Amino acid sequence: MAFWDEKSLEEMSPAEWEALCDGCGRCCLIKLEDEEAGLLITSDVHCKLLDGDTCACTDYPGRQKQVPDCIKLTPQNITEIKWIPTTCAYRRLAEGKGLAWWHPLVSGDPQTVVDVGVSVKGRTFSELDIAPDDWENHAVDWPEWEPPEEL
């Protein structure tokens, strides 16, 4: 049996916790809040530390020093953060859903995340290239899209 089926999020080692990340990059997209409507809007603008071609953080260990509002996901906060994508392995496990079939730990291939359209790879712009006043023009709904449970 796989570790994610045997252990709760709280019981996982740091290495197991990190292995759960599917590398989609969705959590690194800039979110905007429409205060009047009370809506959270996701843009196709990504954090300055995300490599848009690999969906890897260019300074993962130092990310919170460089980006103070970068949120470190924990078993304690995963269910409290409203913008965590429904496809996120941490959220899925916290909600008792298990890992999706396309998750690299299940499929055995990190390319599956890209192939099913969950990854932001090649679909985003760095916040360094888009003026903050223009971020609202980059609002997108595709980060909320979920692939079918099975093909």
Contact between residue 27 and residue 84 where contact means Cβ atoms under 8 Å apart = yes
Query: How many folded domains does the chain comprise?
Result: 1
Residue at 149 is within a domain: no
Residue at 49 is within a domain: yes
Mean pLDDT of 29-45: 89
Q: Is the pLDDT of residue 96 over 90?
A: yes
Q: What is residue 27's DSSP assignment?
A: G
Q: Is the pLDDT of residue 67 over 90?
A: yes
Q: Which of 49, 59, 1 is nearest to 25 (CA)?
A: 49
- How far is it, in rounded angstroms, from Cα 72 to Cα 9? 14
Mean pLDDT of 14-35: 94
Burial (CB count within 10 angstroms: exposed 0-12, middle 13-18, buried 19+), residue 118: buried
Mean pLDDT for the chain? Answer: 93
Mean pLDDT of 108-112: 96
Residue at 151 is within a domain: no
- How far is it, in rounded angstroms, from Cα 38 to Cα 41? 10
Residue at 146 is within a domain: no
Residue at 145 is within a domain: no
Q: Is the pLDDT of residue 133 over 70?
A: yes
Q: Is the pLDDT of residue 46 over 80?
A: yes
Q: Please give the residue range of the domain that contains residue 57.
A: 3-140
Mean pLDDT of 110-119: 95
Q: Is the pLDDT of residue 89 over 70?
A: yes
Containing 90, the helix (H) or strand (E) segment is helix 89-94
Strands 29-34, 39-46: pairing kind: antiparallel
Q: What is residue 73's DSSP assignment?
A: P
pTM over 0.75: yes
